[in-house]
């Protein structure tokens, strides 16, 4: 089976930068996704990595190292609306294309 | 922007009753999924569906669960005899294709909160 670990909670100040780490153990790796989830709402797609390196998308960047089973999501210029849970999810290369999620990291942005 | 829709937003049912959760995936998407999230826990995969058949299912998706695409737009999840532990938020998702080297991210619907009493 898969094992995906990420910190439970992080606190940061408005305007600052926060880095959310995710480690995973899986077979048949076929991509790592980051989703944002506000309380009581659906996950929304943020970023995707399948090759090693950094992907930048506005204020959000995500990094992947397949050899280390490691990814991080970097949130820059934090805004109050960024307070949410951030979910790391690994896609396997099996027929079903399922996503296996970590427990999520709740980020609290303070003024 | 196209989106996945789900009905109802909240369903309350008694233990042992059957429930059907409904989803309308994005119209040009070919792959459909159900996930669930028990309150305070992680999102868990239930089943994926393509070309009118199940592609993959998890251990959670036992004989009490079934999925169907009854027409060209709806995708349903049926739980035959609900248990207390089935109480969760159920998310439907869809993707344009299978991801290989391309993204083909899964788009999630707003969820149906199922409460079994």
Q: What is the tens place of the pLDDT at every residue in A31-78? A: 999 999 999 899 999 999 989 999 998 999 999 999 999 999 999 999
Q: Any idea what the Cα angle at residue B25 is, between residues A62 and A50, rounded to 5°? A: 25
Instruction: Identify the three-state secondary structure at position A21.
Output: strand
Q: For residue B48, which of B112, B79, B93, B3 has the smallest C-alpha distance?
A: B93
Nearest one of B59, B106, B26, B44 to A30, comparing CA atoms: B106
Is pLDDT of A1 > 60?
no
User: A90: which DSSP letter?
Assistant: E
Beta-carbon count within 10 A of B79 CB = 19
CA-nearest residue of chain A to B3? A44
Q: Is residue B62 scored above 60 in pLDDT?
A: yes
- Alpha carbons A15 and A88: distance in angstroms, whole number: 23
Q: Does B60 touch chain A if contact means CB atoms closer than 8 Å?
A: no
Which candidate in A9, A41, A42 is best for mutational testing of the B interface (most B CBs within 10 A)?
A: A42
Residue B89's SS3 state is strand
Q: How far apart are CA B88 and CA B113, in angstroms?
A: 6
Between β-strands A84-92 and A29-37, what pairing exists: parallel, antiparallel or unpaired? antiparallel
- pLDDT for A79: 97
In the stretch 14-33 of chain B, residues with CB closer than 8 A to chain A read: 31, 33
Note the pLDDT tens digit of each residue in A82-105.
Answer: 999 999 999 986 656 889 999 999
> Residue B96's closest chain A neighbor by CA?
A97
pLDDT band for A28, please (50, 70, 90 cuts): confident
Beta bridge partner(s), residue B31: B50, B95
pLDDT at A24 over 70: yes
User: Contact A42/B103, CB-based, under 8 Å?
Assistant: no
Enumerate the β-bridge partners of residue A3. A25
∠B87-B92-B94 over CA atoms, to 5°? 165
- Is the Cβ of B107 closer than 8 Å to some Cβ of chain A? yes
pLDDT at residue B37 greater than cutoff 90: yes
């Amino acid at each position: 089976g898969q094992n995906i670990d990420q910190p439970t909670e992080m606190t940061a100040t408005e305007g600052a930068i926060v880095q959310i780490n995710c480690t995973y153990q899986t077979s048949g790796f076929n991509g790592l996704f980051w989703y944002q989830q506000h309380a009581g709402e659906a996950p929304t797609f943020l970023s995707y990595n399948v090759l090693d390196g950094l992907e930048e998308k506005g204020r959000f960047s995500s990094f992947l190292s397949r050899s280390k089973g490691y990814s991080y999501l970097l949130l820059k210029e934090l805004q109050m609306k960024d307070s949410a849970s951030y979910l790391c999810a690994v896609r396997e290369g099996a027929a079903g294309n399922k996503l296996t999620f970590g427990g999520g990291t709740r980020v609290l942005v303070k003024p | 922007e196209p989106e996945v829709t789900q009905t109802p937003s909240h369903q309350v049912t008694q233990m042992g009753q059957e429930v059907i959760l409904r989803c309308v995936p994005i119209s040009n998407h070919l792959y459909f999924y159900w996930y669930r999230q028990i309150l305070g826990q992680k999102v868990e995969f239930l089943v994926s569906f393509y070309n009118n058949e199940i592609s993959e299912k998890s251990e959670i998706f036992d004989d009490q669960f079934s999925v169907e695409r009854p027409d060209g737009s709806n995708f349903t999840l049926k739980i035959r005899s609900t248990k207390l532990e089935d109480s969760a938020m159920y998310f439907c998702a869809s993707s344009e294709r299978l991801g290989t080297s391309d993204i083909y991210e899964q788009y999630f619907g707003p969820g149906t909160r199922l409460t079994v009493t």
